[in-house]
Chains A and B, each alone.
Chain A
């Protein structure tokens, strides 16, 4: 039997909504499991990415850890896929791009309504925030893009079956949504 196709997934500055939508494949997940296995992913709890065929990345890039994880995926995945609105254009988290970072932190942790024990988190374990939220293609080369907030399970199915079966992935009109 041929080796299974290895897929890694992660969520950077995302909400895990794209992962939830992926799980909406429901019983098709069983068909998928016949031909693929998962490497690093919230579905497996594997912490670092090994050599993979496909990397699916949800969310944009908002902090230093996101940059490292994204580069790890690019290094290890033959085909890297930006999944969902945030990965494509920053999405909702990018709304902070119009406000100075200091002002964001001040509002969230010092002056905001209902803040108790006001202090800006500075634990060395916390990744540093980037000045702005960026889409993935501004950091590394991305091979394919799946738009949508989130992309529907049908988008994942069409894309993955095309790719696995050796066709150039194509999304028909009904599957292309930016919302």
Chain B
């Protein structure tokens, strides 16, 4: 007999070893997330997938599904929490959408749209972060990094370990595995999955930014809950 748990009143079948998020995705139910990707082991850092499991707050991307669980995801309370989390992500970095090539294809922005987030609520940090434009094909803008570590995990699986996170708290930053610390001296190539996995505009493939005009991009007319939420949003190099 198939095992199942209850998600917002709907029975969700799962297999042993699956997380709540994996089972929900397999059933076509969207739980907001940014640091989760089905191809990589869960990280549990962005907290957008926060759900209530039997009355307790858990990250759906790391919490194992179990028989008979009562899971609440789409409640007003949790959506408000997710909006606050997204607002904190926006004010912690420098997310100035009108000037970003990723706009319309950005998952951070798309989650904001999905949650009907109309303002940033909190005071802005405006942290002074840098830009690494040294690589011939890939741009790294630290201003837009949300430390989801998807590039770290992807580059590890690519067999290159180009990226890592260093420091803690406000001093946390993405670092590059090269003697100079610059992307151009690392093993990264534009064909690497790590160059395409970024949910925001922190890692961009150069010379592709405006091939698709604003207004015809992935999330311009369709909510992130309505389309394949785990698709790569950076175009192939030279495409």
Interface residues of chain A, those whose CB is within 8 Å of chain B, are 82, 85, 88-92, 94-95, 97-98, 132, 134-135, 137-138, 142, 144-147, 149, 171, 173-174, 176-179
Contact residues, B184-211 vs A (CB, 8 A): none
Chain A positions within 8 Å of B214 at CB level: 179
- Least distance between B226 CB and chain A CB atoms (Å): 10
Chain A positions within 8 Å of B128 at CB level: 98
B3 at the interface (CB under 8 A from A): no
- Residue ID in chain B nearest A137 by CB atoms: B119
Across the interface, do A178 and B98 meet the contact criterion of CB distance under 8 Å?
yes
**Proximity string of chain B (106-148) to chain A, C-beta cutoff 8 Å, 1 when within and 0 when not:** 0001001110101111011010100000000000000000000
| Beyond known contacts A90-B124, A95-B99, A177-B220: 14 more, CB 8 A cutoff | A82-B119, A88-B119, A89-B120, A92-B98, A92-B99, A94-B96, A94-B124, A134-B124, A135-B124, A144-B118, A145-B119, A171-B116, A176-B113, A178-B109
Q: Which of B95, B104, B126 contacts A98 (CB 8 A)?
A: B126
- Least distance between B124 CB and chain A CB atoms (Å): 6
**Proximity string of chain B (69-110) to chain A, C-beta cutoff 8 Å, 1 when within and 0 when not:** 000000000000000000000110011111110011000010
B223 at the interface (CB under 8 A from A): yes
Docked CA distance A179–B99 (Å):
8
Across the interface, do B98 and A146 meet the contact criterion of CB distance under 8 Å?
no
Docked CA distance A170–B126 (Å):
29
Docked CA distance A176–B220 (Å):
9
Across the interface, do A94 and B126 meet the contact criterion of CB distance under 8 Å?
yes
Across the interface, do A179 and B104 meet the contact criterion of CB distance under 8 Å?
yes
Across the interface, do B118 and A89 meet the contact criterion of CB distance under 8 Å?
no
Docked CA distance A26–B128 (Å):
42
Interface of B is mostly: loop
How many residues in B have their beta carbons less than 8 Å from beta carbons of A? 28
- Residue ID in chain B nearest A89 by CB atoms: B120
Across the interface, do B121 and A132 meet the contact criterion of CB distance under 8 Å?
no
Looking at A135, A144, A171, A176, which has the most chain B CB atoms within 10 Å of its CB?
A: A176
Closest 9 CB pairs of A and B: A149-B98, A178-B97, A145-B119, A179-B103, A97-B126, A145-B118, A179-B97, A179-B98, A98-B128
- Known contacts A142-B119, A179-B103: does B96 contact A174 (CB below 8 Å)? no
Across the interface, do B99 and A174 meet the contact criterion of CB distance under 8 Å?
no
Interface of A is mostly: mixed
Docked CA distance A11–B95 (Å):
22
B216 at the interface (CB under 8 A from A): no
Docked CA distance A95–B91 (Å):
14
Across the interface, do A147 and B103 meet the contact criterion of CB distance under 8 Å?
no
Across the interface, do B96 and A85 meet the contact criterion of CB distance under 8 Å?
yes
Chain A positions within 8 Å of B94 at CB level: 98
- Least distance between A166 CB and chain B CB atoms (Å): 20
**Proximity string of chain B (56-78) to chain A, C-beta cutoff 8 Å, 1 when within and 0 when not:** 00000000000000000000000
Docked CA distance A151–B70 (Å):
41
Chain A positions within 8 Å of B103 at CB level: 178-179
- Least distance between B140 CB and chain A CB atoms (Å): 16
Looking at B97, B99, B112, which has the most chain A CB atoms within 10 Å of its CB?
A: B97
- Residue ID in chain A nearest B226 by CB atoms: A173
B221 at the interface (CB under 8 A from A): yes
Docked CA distance A147–B97 (Å):
11
Q: Which of B97, B121, B124 contacts A85 (CB 8 A)?
A: B97
Docked CA distance A6–B178 (Å):
61
Docked CA distance A145–B120 (Å):
10
Between-chain CB contacts (< 8 Å), 11 pairs: A89-B90, A92-B98, A135-B120, A138-B123, A144-B118, A173-B113, A173-B114, A173-B116, A178-B97, A178-B103, A179-B104
- Residue ID in chain B nearest A17 by CB atoms: B98
